[in-house]
Structure 1
Amino acid sequence: MRVFSDNTLLLPMLYCCFSSAMSSSLYSSCQLQGQFNLNGMHKTGDVILGGLFANNLFSVDFDLTFTSEPQLPTCYSFDITGFRQAQTMAFAIDEINRNSKLLPNVTLGYSLYDNCNQLGIAFHASLSLVSGQEEEVTLEENCIGTPPVHGIVGDSSSTRSIAISSLLGLYRVPMVSYYATCSCLSDRQKFPSFFRTIPSDAFQVNAMIQILKHFGWTWAGLLISDDDYGVHAARSFHSDLGPAGGGCLAYTEILPWGDDPAEIRRIVDVMRKSTARVVIVFAHNSRTINLMQEVVRQNVTGLQWIASEAWTLADVLQTPHFMPYLGGTLGIAIRRGEIPGLRDFLLQIRPDLHHGSADGKSVVNQFWEHTFQCRFAPAPASWVEAGGELCTGQEVIENVETELLDVSDLRPEYNVYKAVYALAYALDDMLHCEPGRGPFSNNTCAHLQRLEPWQLVYYLGKVNFTTTFGDQVSFDENGDSLPIYDIMNWVWLPDGRTKVQRVGEVKRSAFKGEELTLDEDKIFWNFESKQPPRSVCSESCPPGTRMARKKGEPECCFDCVPCSEGKISNKTDSMECTSCPEDFWSSPQRDHCVPKKTEFLSYHEPLGICLTTTSLLGTFICVLVLGIFIHHHSTPIVRANNSELSFLLLVSLKLCFLCSLLFIGRPRLWTCQLRHAAFGISFVLCVSCILVKTMVVLAVFRASKPGGESSLKWFGAVQQRGTVLVLTSIQAAICTVWLVSASPVPHKNTQYQSDKIVYECEVGSTVGFAVLLGYIGLLAVLSCLLAFLAKNLPDSFNEAKHITFSMLIFCAVWVAFVPAYISSPGKYADAVEVFAILASSFGLLVALFGPKCYIILLRPERNTKKAIMGRCTTK
């Protein structure tokens, strides 16, 4: 913001109230301290609306000497667009005055001033509107009164609107802007009486983000101007973009204020080196021209430009010089509207030769000069010829192709039209207030003769109407209207001509929220592929990976890290990998969960088949031996040492072989409970039989000695069966207590391998399992010791040597079993236990029954009582 070239900062103190000399006086007189000679248009009425428009583009400032009062700058270079906007306000007021349903019996007037596109002059004009130009004003005792205008339509610049609205807000004078877009103006604390019919930059930024998201452009460059327009837009971009917003900015640069070639070269060099293919330029067209000239000089092609509203429709950039670089540009533009009757109203404009300004030209006369390229003097008869034409005031304007009459693309004019109608509807609502039911204190209503500006602000906030073009107009709590923007596309035609066409819109409705509509078939893409470009910092992470931010890089720059084992991501650009359910594991691609492999000692695998075959073979051998013994049950070698125990021992060995089958196959509750119980009882039955046989051998030889006959009575058949039954019952009791207190149960173990489920039986109670094994071991050790004591007895009667050997095998197998079982994972622990069962069973079977079967089948001559009772030692 530049420093004013006059005493503008003192103008808020414009009024000075003097108390009356007489104490009975109820009125005061305020003297205007200064008056501005401004270019303007006026029309009287019951209610006056003010307007600020840029009818001239440039001004020449006077030097400050601080020795004399500064003069107003001289304005020049007529702006036909600003003039048409001012005429649109005049047309809207004229149309409202002719409408019998809106503000009946009330005539609207206007005071329109030229701001000369300069902040200081706009500030002068706004103060003139709210204070008036009368040199002396009579007010009430408290120095208050109705201002000359009840509302102001303007200004066209965010910077000027900020300055003017800051002052007007102090007095709650409503100001409705048709072109100021800075999002900062939505601050109700700073600008309590500011409204606008153009969307704020915040929504413009949101519209651009919607376009970025629509085409998947997550990596974009941003160039902004260093004024309120650009700075606040940059803040909106940085707050709205990101992972939630759909992208990030590759670089943020502030365009230089002046024409510094070095700074512009640096900016374009950054653009050229960046990987961002989409560039957003949020600046006025004057800044953009300097930038594009350097883009052309460095031949920076292959970029997709997104234009802010300020330069989307700039004709100066739509030239064959720039189109190879700017063709296909997507831009945000003010909503185009239609105003029926406006062209006919503009056709009625004629030169006002009798009412010139200080330099001899009124605003209307400047328009005529611009249109017909002619000159005239203030006097009616002093027209002069210029450019080969003579202005008489009677020219047929309908036959002239002029920019003023082009109403095919009304954008800011449409916003002016809506702003005037918003003020009119607010006044109309105020006049329809019923006494005693008003919105103000004590349910009072506002009165037109004593209307306070803040009362009109209240009604403006309640405005809600629909234009003839079909657009709804209302204001939210921040003074912003329902936003809507057109999306424009720069088309480069084959013949070299250019046109800007509408390809969609983005709007926010009260019910549906924000909506983006694009006709992609109409969009011209300035690329060989004729397709939208890709503009990403990092390519999307496929399923099976997650995004990992690069340190020190923007949010959309990331690495794709594969998910760890057991986790997956089934979406593109996943932020995190999710764990698979308990019974599932990640696929090799880490993009979906698959059931975990199950592992247990199966009947179908080679190890299971081998163990099963061995178990059945042992069972078959037991049955075969049992058949041999039954067939030769009357022979001495079978009858020796209690044949009943031998039969019971064979049955128990067969049970030992069969119980190993319970360890093969998928563990179930019943197999887990039965396998160790059957194993424990079968082996106790087997070892008990061996123990009793060993004790019988010792008792028989002890009875053969003098005085030892009495010992045989303790080892009769009944006692032998009873001893085996008692010893087995103890094991059965141990198993029962174990199963009742802490029964073994199936368990899905994932500790060995995370991608596998190892089905195994948990022992439930380690103590119970240890007692079961300990009891078997105790009986085995006791049998081994007794057999060892009887090993030196005569061979013909001595089974102790074979029992000792069998018990040594049995103990060796189970001693080796313990560490092997503990160290074996999963199914191999069951395989170790099955192997121990089979090995110990085969050891007992071969050691105890192998020699007897040998004699029965191959040496029948030794299967006689004489051979058995003989005392000679066999070699």
Structure 2
Amino acid sequence: MDKGKDWRSIATVSSRLPPTSDLEGRRQPGDIMIGVLLPINSDKIYQKLTFNVRPLKTTCRLFSLEFYHRFQAFLFTVEEINKDPKILPNMTIGFQMYDTCNIPHYELQGALQFLTDSDRIITDNQCCSRPLFSAVIGSTFSANSIILAHVLGAFRYPQISSFSGLSLLSNKRMFPSFFRTVPSDKFQSKGLAELILSFGWTWIGLVTVDTNYGLQGIQPIREEIVKAGACVAFMEYIYLGQPDRNAPYIVKTIKESTATVVVVFASEVEFVLILNEMVKQNVTGKIFIGNVGWARAIILSMSTYSSILSGSLNLAFSDYVVPGLSQFLAKIDPSTSVTSKWTRMYWESVFNCKFLPENQTISLENPVNICTGSEHLDGIKNNSNYVSSLQSTHAMFSAVQVISKALDDLKSCKIGEGPFFNGTCANIWNFKPWQLTYYIRRVQLNINVENGKYFDENGDPPAIFPIVNWQLKADGTLTQVKIGSYNSNVPFPWTLTLDTSLIVWKMGRKQVPSSYCSDRCIMGFRKAALQGKPTCCYVCVPCLQREISNQTAPIRGLKEE
């Protein structure tokens, strides 16, 4: 046997990963490829592990309309770029996309597939060549983005998230090639604190998830609240390591607290467990202030939670709907789509119907609305949940635009005027990951920012958040109405703009609800501290002669730094 030939065979095999049998996805060939990791299903059923047999495949569940729309926004944007002769002429963008179900090892497995491109046939002289993939769009959630950023960043491989907001990811020393098209939670936390204090509330409860995302998000809010003279009534954690997520204890605390206002910094998947427990314990009368993680969650808009969430306020991601996306979605046909499984799930979610398996008849005991496949999407364009999920697609649209613009800038480089050694340019057919990262860091899009660059020095985009109010509809469900915005790009105190006339609190009331530990002292009385209690908790005692106050001291509010 030829030892040299045998060595080459081993090298060829070792340069590839095992087939991605556990991952479901879609592939479209192109001259330059983009890897996409999305949780089309946002939850999973874990199988019991014995380690004496091969672990069973994790079962994905809970189809996500929002993330399916994000995937469709990706398809639409790629199609538009490939049709545009001004962007990457004579080249096409392709992709490999996987449904990760928000499972960390699926995220990592998908990323490694992108790096090795194991779906290609690798010859002996290609074993160490650059993969076809240019960049990765993902992960969705911050904890998984950190895992990917450590792996991809080791090779300076560009990664763009359209959802991860954890402020830690702005650290370029730790994550040199990580970017995102959503603002950092650092700005979100400041916006939430400013929103809370603008209503004069002084007694606030805090709930967050026990992850870096939750802890780093809630701490700045707490600091700003205390600095302004308000007080924290309680601070509870959603423990992901507990089967019940600590929900019974959290809800008991919320129920027994005199604080009307509760800040929840978590994702919809975590918050829905708290809401289910609130329904069980019949807790009402609280006003929730939330981060973008659950701002436009369709599952939370159901009538089940309307008595709990009506009147709530959230910072949200951009409400910009990608032009032409609605028309693109109207072309979806569940009978002909190449991703028929996901499309059928989408169809069932949108039209509230079910596709029956072949040869199955309708049960009279359990009647269901049967999907025909001929329903028209035009009839649901005014559905608030449908529109809300479309408003979450802009970040994905921006991610594809950033990559394509960076690739076009790389391709347009003139020899002798390039940014690399001795004015050299990168080869569009054989560039290195770090070379594309260079162009992504400096990409300019048609967006109103001061210096024209899309990303700042930390890889973060401009921080502009719409503010939405959860309002009850006639059918008992909830809709989110925009009532203002938070813009970190303008100086304080103009960062926050609110139209309070649009806000509807619980029971349709227009008056701002109160949230105080103690009632404000009337004229002629003063505050007397209660031993062992926060400064916001006091009793009112008569003023001494010649020490009578004729006004109520307001909360100090945020100050300009």
Matches within 5 A, 1:314-329: 314-320=297-303, 322-329=305-312
Q: Label 1:545 to 1:47 Cα distance change in 2 as closer, same or farther (>3 A).
A: farther
Matches within 5 A, 1:385-784: 395=374, 397-398=376-377, 401=380, 406-407=386-387, 409-466=389-446, 474-492=454-472, 496=476, 498-509=478-489, 515-526=495-506, 530-537=510-517, 554=534, 572=553
- Alignment TM-score, normalising by the size of structure 1: 0.54
Q: Label 1:135 to 1:272 Cα distance change in 2 as closer, same or farther (>3 A).
A: closer
Larger Rg: 1
Matched with 2:109 is 124
Shift, 1:266, TM fit? 3.6
Does the 8 Å contact 1:56/1:77 carry over to 2?
A: yes
Give a deviation string over 1:378-422, Cα, whole Å, max 9, x none: xxxxx65666999998x4655775999945652331111111111
Separation of aligned partners in 2, 1:354 and 1:410: 20
Shift, 1:155, TM fit? 1.9
Does the 8 Å contact 2:66/2:390 carry over to 1?
A: no
Q: What residue identity is the alignment partner of 2:144?
A: R
Q: What residue identity is the alignment partner of 1:217?
A: W
Shift, 1:121, TM fit? 1.6
Matched with 1:341 is 324
Shift, 1:151, TM fit? 0.8
Shift, 1:514, TM fit? 6.6
Matched with 2:166 is 182
Matched with 1:89 is 74
Matched with 2:189 is 205
1:449 is paired with a residue of what secondary structure?
coil
1:242 is paired with a residue of what secondary structure?
helix
Matched with 1:308 is 291
- Alignment TM-score, normalising by the size of structure 2: 0.80
Q: When the two structures are aligned, how many residues end up with a matched partner?
A: 534
Matched with 1:849 is none
Q: What residue identity is the alignment partner of 2:322?
A: I
Q: Label 1:434 to 1:338 Cα distance change in 2 as closer, same or farther (>3 A).
A: same
Q: Which among 355, 372, 395 is matched to residue 374 of structure 1?
A: 355
Q: Which among 178, 192, 195 is matched to residue 176 of structure 2?
A: 192
Q: What residue identity is the alignment partner of 1:119?
A: P
**1:231 to 2:215 alignment:** yes
2:393 is paired with a residue of what secondary structure?
helix
**1:100 to 2:85 alignment:** yes
Does the 8 Å contact 1:546/1:569 carry over to 2?
A: no
Shift, 1:560, TM fit? 10
Give a deviation string over 1:75-134, Cα, whole Å, max 9, x none: 355444322221210110111122223333332111111112322222211211121124
Q: Which moved more, 1:52-61 or 1:403-412?
A: 403-412
2:226 is paired with a residue of what secondary structure?
coil
Q: Which among 251, 257, 279 is matched to residue 262 of structure 2?
A: 279
2:133 is paired with a residue of what secondary structure?
coil
Q: What residue identity is the alignment partner of 1:515?
A: T
Separation of aligned partners in 1, 2:415 and 2:524: 71
Does the 8 Å contact 2:200/2:555 carry over to 1?
A: no
Give a deviation string over 1:208-260, Cα, whole Å, max 9, x none: 111112112233110112234322222332344432x5634221101344564
2:94 is paired with a residue of what secondary structure?
strand
Higher helix proportion: 1
Shift, 1:329, TM fit? 1.0
Separation of aligned partners in 2, 1:51 and 1:574: 47
Q: Label 1:324 to 1:363 Cα distance change in 2 as closer, same or farther (>3 A).
A: closer
1:464 is paired with a residue of what secondary structure?
coil
Q: Which among 242, 250, 254 is matched to residue 233 of structure 2?
A: 250
1:279 is paired with a residue of what secondary structure?
strand
Matched with 2:251 is 268
2:196 is paired with a residue of what secondary structure?
helix
Matched with 2:365 is none
Does the 8 Å contact 1:115/1:121 carry over to 2?
A: yes
Matched with 1:44 is 29
Aligned-pair Cα RMSD in Å: 4.3
Shift, 1:443, TM fit? 2.6
Matched with 1:291 is 274
1:305 is paired with a residue of what secondary structure?
strand
Separation of aligned partners in 2, 1:313 and 1:153: 21
Q: What residue identity is the alignment partner of 1:374?
A: F
Separation of aligned partners in 2, 1:488 and 1:423: 30
Does the 8 Å contact 1:545/1:569 carry over to 2?
A: no
Matches within 5 A, 1:28-67: 29=12, 31-37=15-21, 38-67=23-52
Give a deviation string over 1:699-718, Cα, whole Å, max 9, x none: xxxxxxxxxxxxxxxxxxxx
Shift, 1:316, TM fit? 4.0
Q: Label 1:303 to 1:344 Cα distance change in 2 as closer, same or farther (>3 A).
A: closer
Separation of aligned partners in 2, 1:533 and 1:87: 41
Q: Label 1:405 to 1:128 Cα distance change in 2 as closer, same or farther (>3 A).
A: farther
Shift, 1:280, TM fit? 0.7
Separation of aligned partners in 2, 1:531 and 1:125: 51
Give a deviation string over 1:148-180, Cα, whole Å, max 9, x none: 211111222222212122211111111111111
Separation of aligned partners in 2, 1:123 and 1:65: 22
Give a deviation string over 1:554-604, Cα, whole Å, max 9, x none: 5656899999x9xx99995799xxxxxxxxxxxxxxxxxxxxxxxxxxxxx
Q: Label 1:188 to 1:407 Cα distance change in 2 as closer, same or farther (>3 A).
A: same
Separation of aligned partners in 1, 2:221 and 2:369: 53
Separation of aligned partners in 1, 2:311 and 2:86: 46
2:122 is paired with a residue of what secondary structure?
strand
Q: Which moved more, 1:164-173 or 1:265-274?
A: 265-274
Q: What residue identity is the alignment partner of 1:304?
A: I
**1:146 to 2:130 alignment:** yes
Does the 8 Å contact 2:187/2:488 carry over to 1?
A: no
Does the 8 Å contact 2:263/2:288 carry over to 1?
A: yes
Q: Label 1:511 to 1:492 Cα distance change in 2 as closer, same or farther (>3 A).
A: closer
